[in-house]
Amino acid sequence: MIRTQTLRVFVTVASCGNIRDAAKALGRTDSAISMTLKQLESDLGAPLFETDRKHTLTTLGVEVNKLAQDLLREYDRTTERIMALAAGREGVLRIAAVPSVAAQLLPPVLSAMLADHPGVRIELLDTDSASVHALVETGVVELGIGGKPEASAGLSFVALFNDPFRLVCRKDHPLTRLARPLTRQDLQAHRLISNNSTAGYSGLDPDGPDRVSAISARNVISLLALVRAGAGATILPALATRSIDEDLGALELQDRLALRTVGFVMRRGGSISPICAAFQDRLVSLIQTTDITRQSMEPGKDHGQP
């Protein structure tokens, strides 16, 4: 087998036209270069240079030189890409995040990532927490950002912040006149539009766990359109209410346990790529320097769901 370094020696000698200059260029001794060329010619069974002075290639030498240059260029490009991947300068970053995080927190982080890592490609999926967990567990994405998964899911969770729930309704809704945090009793006389963001929090359903809301919606745009049309009110995480229209309001709930914990979701025991680690660092930095919610948590601590 011909080694890549052997071909590099041959190409350098062919370019320099002599062993002495090639040895200086490669940082090796004249004798080492000479021995490498002799071994290559022995392996090929034919000479590559017309004379010992190495300034004229044989017909075989000319062809080998062309092929070796092509191979070395491709080898160098491949090696550079491997190093870029390892350093996080290239690669594909696949993320799944709940819609509020995808819309409110990730745009500046991902924009900065693309500016600093132009060789990186980013794929972002926005979906509910249950789907985030499934996408991470099946390996479709490397990292998820959402609620805490079940302990048996084979996933690890690193909490980032608490996001309290808010009642979203029209500004002419009767509950807006209470001018105080809402209790569960306050909600009982009003129709709620259910959605997946409060999955697992049956205590937020004023109708009780045994009854189903008359209307539900999964997409936030559709959900807010229903609220705007007067179909009812809904409950959303505070982060999701940052960009609601002026004709809608987000009312505080009295229950301090009415919140979700948002964090990184990863496959348990798996390693993360350098570009994923760089993204995590940027997002944590943003959270640490931004007032995400009034009930923010210290990033990096694992807090259970309420």
Token pair, residue 20, equals 């002495």
**Same domain? 173 vs 254:** yes
Q: Could you tell me where the beta strands, DSSP code E, fall in the chain?
A: 90-97, 119-126, 143-146, 155-170, 192-194, 215-216, 233-237, 248-252, 259-267
**Same domain? 21 vs 99:** no
Q: What's the domain count of the chain?
A: 3
Cα dihedral across residues 287, 288, 291, 294: positive or negative = positive
Report the CATH number at residue 105.
Answer: 3.40.190.10
Does residue 60 belong to any structural domain of this protein?
yes
CB–CB of 260/238 below 8 Å? no
**Same domain? 190 vs 250:** yes
Tens of pLDDT, residues 76-124: 888 877 887 777 677 789 999 999 999 999 999 999 989 988 888 899 9
**Same domain? 129 vs 142:** yes
Q: What is the pLDDT of residue 201?
A: 53
Q: What is the pLDDT of residue 212?
A: 52
Does residue 296 belong to any structural domain of this protein?
no
**Same domain? 190 vs 45:** no
Q: What is the pLDDT of residue 210?
A: 40
Average pLDDT, whole number, for the chain?
Answer: 86
**Same domain? 191 vs 266:** no
CB–CB of 274/116 below 8 Å? no
- Range(s) of the domain holding residue 235: 163-259
Does residue 283 belong to any structural domain of this protein?
yes
Does residue 301 belong to any structural domain of this protein?
no
Report the CATH number at residue 23.
Answer: 1.10.10.10
**Same domain? 210 vs 239:** yes
**Same domain? 147 vs 137:** yes
Q: What is the pLDDT of residue 55?
A: 84
**Same domain? 169 vs 203:** yes
Q: With a cut of 70, list the residues of the chain below it in pLDDT.
A: 88, 199-213, 291-306
Does residue 183 belong to any structural domain of this protein?
yes
**Same domain? 246 vs 282:** no
Does residue 222 belong to any structural domain of this protein?
yes
Q: What is the pLDDT of residue 83?
A: 80
pTM above 0.85, yes or no: no
**Same domain? 246 vs 177:** yes
Largest CA distance in the chain: 100
Does residue 297 belong to any structural domain of this protein?
no
